[in-house]
Amino acid sequence: MKASYAYKVLFALVCLFSFGLSSFVYAADIKVQIDRNPVNIQESFQIIFTANESPDDDPDFSPLNKDFEILNQTEQQSTKIVNWKRTKSIQWILTVMPKQAGSIIIPAIHFGEDTSLVTAIVVTEAQQQANANINEELFLQASVNTDTPYIQEQVTYTLKLFRKVNISQASLSEPVLNDAVIVRLGEDKNYNTKYNGENYVVLERDYAIFPQKSGAMTIAPLVLTAGIIVNNNQTRYNSFFSRQSTRNKRVSSNSIQLNVQAKPASQTGSIWLPAEQVYIQEKWSIDPQNITLGEPVTRTISLFVKGVTAGALPELQTQTLPKQIKAYPDQPLVKESPQGKVLVALREEKIALIASEIGTYTLPAIEIPWWNTTTQTQEMAVIPEKQLIVVAGEQSHTVDVPPVAILEKSDEVMPRSDKVQSDHNLWFALAIFFGTGWALTLLYLIISRKSVKKTAHPQKIKLDTSSAHKILQQACAENNSDKAKQALLEWGREHFQKNSLEAIAKQCDSALAKEIQRLNAVLYSQAESNWQGEALWLAFKQNKQLEVALKQVGDSLPPLFKI
């Protein structure tokens, strides 16, 4: 009886746990986003709730009424199918006006059993406005986040268009400033605000300005030309056939004065990088503590800087490396993109490292000094020095790394220098072997006193005229390195079952191997215009003639012993 009761309790607990777990697993993920932060107490803003699937129930926005006045509410749904994967999105967009200033919590909103996250917004007090724009139906207002920036520091220039009327065919000029770089930040923002007791619709546009010299600078006023739509009561009964009546108006913003400061005397080093935030990181293609001798390893250094243009980012890998480590850098990746009111720049450098000797080596630290525009102090972004441990691979002897990296997609490296000496030894041994064979054959002919004498008529060696050979000959004549590479790869697959130039070079004599390696180096260094194909084709023909000659000699030799 007690056991039966215990099983019932256990079953009930399992059911409750399963129900709770399923509720957790299938709960809708509801995110909260604010279009602007901070906002003025007299400005409206948008709160956007986004769900990745249908929530448990309709939302209850009543908790917002405590601190906000809800002006408008809309709901949008969208479905995307990418790679046969269906993604659903539901958005609730609320336009609200704050009721008080300060840091206000936007509470969690219940969607049945599902809830959104809690977030916060900063609401500033109403600013004292100039009387010049009182009761104006249309005007521009410009401002900057700082009027005393350092040279090359970002200045955020904000332009606001206030209007109480509907406009059409509007034309707005762009900011112009000599000796400065100007970048537009993101998309325009639209919201409602109260200015001098009047309700306005505001269009806000942001620019990042980077002054390139110190001293006084003036941002000239921006000009808006627009047609103001006029309400004409006389034509309302015939509006279908009547054209919209407008009157043109031109308004200008206020000018902005900047006093650009030079680099502070306390700043040291050759790099000047004024920014809000700097982050540097490194990645390795394989473990740097276990690098195989002669094989390449790729090091990637990424620098993220907040508040500069991409052109202001310094080079990252300029340190002197140990002489046993050869470096082959790739073309750096440089780009920039706006994030809110700040421009963020990225520089990424990839470098292939090849070790020529076994051992432990130390790469110097990478140090990027930068000026923190928030704290007005110099800081240092650092990647500490890194130890590389090079171990033996299939062959443990010293590797002579070529002056230009020979890197293929197959990740194979250039044949080692002792391969040339090995080729000489091989041909020397072959010469002795065939010479001995000829001597034994001559001795056999004398002993057997053969009466029949054969006159040797050297046969003309005919090169293979396959498509790969013809393509290679044409490529060499045209000095086309890419075409020559494809022809060699086709020839190598047919004769040696090899898929890389390095592997094919190992099957050829030293002269052809050297030309193939030189071709591969030119391809990797992207210097095709310097390559001449005559030497490769000559070495290729000599290699083929030697192959044919050796084959003919082997076929013409009689057996050393008769059976």
Please write down the long-range contacts of 334-340, taking CB distance under 8 Å and 24 or more positions apart.
334/310, 335/310, 336/183, 336/309, 336/310, 338/183, 338/184, 338/185, 338/186, 338/208, 339/306, 340/185, 340/186
**CATH of region 131-260:** 2.60.40
Closest by alpha carbon to 398, among 417, 412, 414?
417
Strands (E), 364-521: 366-372, 377-383, 386-391
Cα dist. 46→51, 97, 123, 163, 195 in Å? 16, 9, 13, 19, 19
Instruction: Report the alpha-carbon distance of residue 179 to residue 177 in Å, rounded.
Output: 6
Q: What is the pLDDT of residue 226?
A: 86
The pLDDT of residue 20 is 43
Decide yes or no: CATH 2.40.160 for domain 30-124: no
Class of the CATH-defined domain 274-391: mainly beta
Is 532 in contact with 478 (CB distance < 8 Å)?
no
Contacts of 220 (CB under 8 A, 6+ apart): 175, 176, 177, 255
Cα separation, 353 vs 355, whole angstroms: 7
pLDDT values of the chain reduced to their tens digit, one per residue, 563 residues = 444 444 444 444 434 444 444 444 446 788 999 988 888 887 788 899 999 888 888 999 999 999 998 988 999 888 777 667 777 889 999 988 888 999 999 999 999 989 998 999 999 886 655 455 666 889 999 999 999 999 999 999 999 999 999 988 888 999 999 999 999 999 999 999 988 888 999 999 999 999 999 999 999 999 998 888 876 554 444 455 555 677 778 889 999 999 999 999 888 878 899 999 999 999 999 999 999 988 899 999 999 999 999 999 999 888 889 999 999 999 999 999 998 899 999 999 999 999 989 999 999 999 999 999 999 999 999 999 999 999 987 654 444 444 433 333 333 333 344 444 445 556 666 667 666 777 777 776 666 654 444 443 433 334 344 678 888 888 888 888 888 888 888 888 888 888 888 888 888 888 888 888 888 877 766 544 568 888 888 888 878 665 654 455 445 444 433 43
DSSP-assigned beta bridge partners for residue 168: 227
Question: Using alpha carbons only, what angle is made at residue 294 by residues 293 and 299, rounded to the nearest 5 degrees?
Answer: 90
Do strands 366-372 and 377-383 pair parallel, antiparallel, or not at all (unpaired)?
Answer: antiparallel
As given in the structure block, the two tokens for residue 176 are 């112009």
Distance set, CA 115 to CA 27, 49, 101, 104, 287 (Å): 9, 10, 26, 19, 44
| One-character DSSP codes across 66-129 | GTEEEEEEEEEEEEEEETTEEEEEEEEEEEEEESS-EEEEEPPPEETTEEPPPEEEEEEPPPPP
For CATH 2.60.40, the residue range(s) in the chain are: 30-124, 131-260, 274-391
Beta bridge partners of residue 366, listed in sequence order:
383
User: In this predicted structure, what is the pLDDT of residue 61?
Assistant: 93
**Residue 428 CB contacts under 8 Å (≥ 6 apart), including other chains:** none
Contact 35, 94 (CB under 8 A): no
How far apart (Å, rounded) are the C-alpha atoms in residues 339 and 489?
48
Do 116 and 30 meet the contact criterion of CB atoms below 8 Å apart? yes
**pLDDT confidence of residue 107:** 93
The predicted-structure confidence for 384-429, as pLDDT tens digits, reads as follows: 999 999 998 765 444 444 443 333 333 333 334 444 444 555 666 6
Nearest CA to 419 among 349, 291, 507, 317?
507
Query: How far is the C-alpha of 19 from the C-alpha of 485, rounded, in Å?
Result: 64
